[in-house]
């Protein structure tokens, strides 16, 4: 497996976990009715996580594809593994830091369509 494949796999695994959580939250919202959704912090958190993970995960994976390895003394397999873990952590932190700015307006539009 190539280094970018590992990074993409790890990022997509994190995104899939978040997507499942968001899907579960949306399914419970559909069962509970629209009156309970307005103040649901779980739905908002799942929405923020999904949007941030999808956006930043894709951006970081594409950025890594364009980088060449170091000319001398590359880290080998260990570097590949830990690079994927670092990328996942970076994606989570960027998603948390920008949730209000990026996914906030998207969530508001989503809720308008539900009401």
* 24-83 pLDDT tens trace: 544 444 444 444 456 588 888 888 888 888 899 999 989 888 877 777 777 788 888 898
15-25 average pLDDT score: 51
> How many domains, the chain?
1
Note if the pTM is more than 0.75: no
Instruction: Report pLDDT for 5.
Output: 53
Q: What is the 3-state secondary structure (H, E, C) of 72-93?
A: CCCCHHHHHHHHHHHHHHHHHH
Contact 58, 94 (CB under 8 A): no
The first and second tokens of residue 66, run together, are 């364009």
**Angle, CA of 4, 22 and 11, to the nearest 5°:** 10
Instruction: Provide the residue range defining the domain that includes 89.
Output: 3-66+75-114
Instruction: Report pLDDT for 1.
Output: 45
Q: Cα-flanking dihedrals φ and ψ of residue 67, to 5°?
A: -90, 135
């Amino acid at each position: 497996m190539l280094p970018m494949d590992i990074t993409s796999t790890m990022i997509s695994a994190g995104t899939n976990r978040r997507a499942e959580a968001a899907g579960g939250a949306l399914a419970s919202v559909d069962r509970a009715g629209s009156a309970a959704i307005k103040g649901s912090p779980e739905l908002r958190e799942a929405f923020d996580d999904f949007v941030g993970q999808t956006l930043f995960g894709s951006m970081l994976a594409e950025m890594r594809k364009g980088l060449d390895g170091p000319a001398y003394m590359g880290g080998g397999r260990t570097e590949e593994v830990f690079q994927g873990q670092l990328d996942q952590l970076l994606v989570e932190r960027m998603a948390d830091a920008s949730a209000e700015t990026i996914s906030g307006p998207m969530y508001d539009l989503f809720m308008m369509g539900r009401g």
